[in-house]
Amino acid sequence: MNFARACSNEHADLHWSFFRVHRGSRVSRKRQGESASRVAEDTPAYGAAPFRFIDLFCGIGGFRIAFEKAGAKCVFSSDYDKFSQQTYESNFGEKPFGDIHSVAVADIPQHDILCAGFPCQPFSLAGVSKKNSLGRKHGFDDVKQGNLFFALAEVIDFHRPAAFVLENVKNLKGHDQGRTFDIIHRTLTEALGYTVYHKIIDAKPLVPQHRERIFLVGFREWRHFEFPNFPSEGPKLASILERDPDPKYTLTDHLWNYLQRYAEKHRAAGNGFGFGLVTERDHARTLSARYHKDGSEILIAQRGKNPRRLTPRECARLMGYPDTFKITVSDTQAYRQFGNSVVVPVVQHVAKLVVQTLKMPKSSTYDLVLEEKHNAHLGQGPKEPSKMVTYTKPKRRRIT
């Protein structure tokens, strides 16, 4: 019986011991007798050696850039898309393994941190809408991509990494009235025994793009973790635009007229569909993998002529990739790759805190400091200001 199907919405109340019973179909013979719950003995102690991480559903390497900047070392990568493999190999000098289902779990190298941006299409608003219109299943019932989360669970269950970082679309939290996220969370916590923190993060404070994604950070042993805080104001599109883009990125009269008619049609019907026309003083909508089709979600206004698409290099910058990142595929593939990517600076901040947390002694915790402050604005009158009680920035301490 397939675990992913058994944990679909009709079976959300199954006992989570089921996962361990039906796990291990991809475990190689040489390791079948080993305990899946073993704990790595040579995990680097408080930074004595680089943490090792694996990069699953790696795409073009956004996670890898972020965790390498945090001082970790990549020991394995995997992605089924041949064009993403090409870009990854051009930039990191190694070709990722293919479909994760083709790799025996035990053949994946031992690692301290598992990173994965597992496919989001089965859970995204756009993906669900499209599949519904075509009469196709979505979520865990998506045969091709919906059960890939459980492939991650197999790897986590066998290797027991010290931590993991997962990323997906914001809609994962609300998909199927929250039941999908509940299954995922219970699998990670109840079935696998990890302490899990999650947060929806908007990349807009770091790149000129409104892009909300959910991050799940888990620790094998209990550790206190806080997601990063970002500034309220972020950069504008002017910071990523090329000065003299190729004219081929300017929309033809035919396409521009079509997009305007399409937007007017839906506006008259009371729908919110339409193009996103922006200037260098704005931030963009979310870049999607379909951007290659017409570029409608992000069109750059141009004085005296039709608007234009972003160039692939601008898309790379919009996702936080450095200009040294090599783009070796067609524009169509580049748009797909950057639209499916993580925002590198966001992951970099998360990665830094994950590594720092793992370097802290396991006994580290926080002191809650209760502080009393006077605030005249909250009082009933100038003579008797009320007292506002707040928690100050917690201080780490070590339990003795």
| Active site residues per annotation | 120
Q: Concatenate the DSSP letters of all residues of 52-118 into one string.
A: EEEEET-TTSHHHHHHHHTT-EEEEEE-S-HHHHHHHHHHHSSPPBS-GGGS-GGGSPP-SEEEE--
Q: Give CA–CA dist 240/249, Å, rounded.
A: 16
* Tokens representing residue 18 in the block: 């089921």
Q: Give CA–CA dist 259/240, Å, rounded.
A: 25
Q: Give CA–CA dist 141/149, Å, rounded.
A: 12
CB atoms near residue 377 (< 10 Å): 7
Q: Give CA–CA dist 159/166, Å, rounded.
A: 16
Q: Do residues 80 and 151 lie in contact, with contact meaning Cβ atoms separated by under 8 Å?
A: no
**Strand bridging mode 113-116 / 163-169:** parallel
Q: What residues does 278 pair with on adjacent strands?
A: 300
Q: Angle at Cα 74 formed by Cα 51 and Cα 198, nearest 5°?
A: 70
> In whole angstroms, how far apart are CA 375 and each of 168, 339, 380, 381, 389?
41, 47, 11, 11, 10
Q: List the 305-308 sheet strands across, edge first.
A: 277-278, 299-302, 305-308
Q: Is 399 exposed, middle or buried (0-12, 13-18, 19+ CB in 10 A)?
A: exposed
* Tokens representing residue 144 in the block: 């091709």
> In whole angstroms, how far apart are CA 11 and each of 8, 14, 122, 146, 195?
5, 6, 18, 15, 24
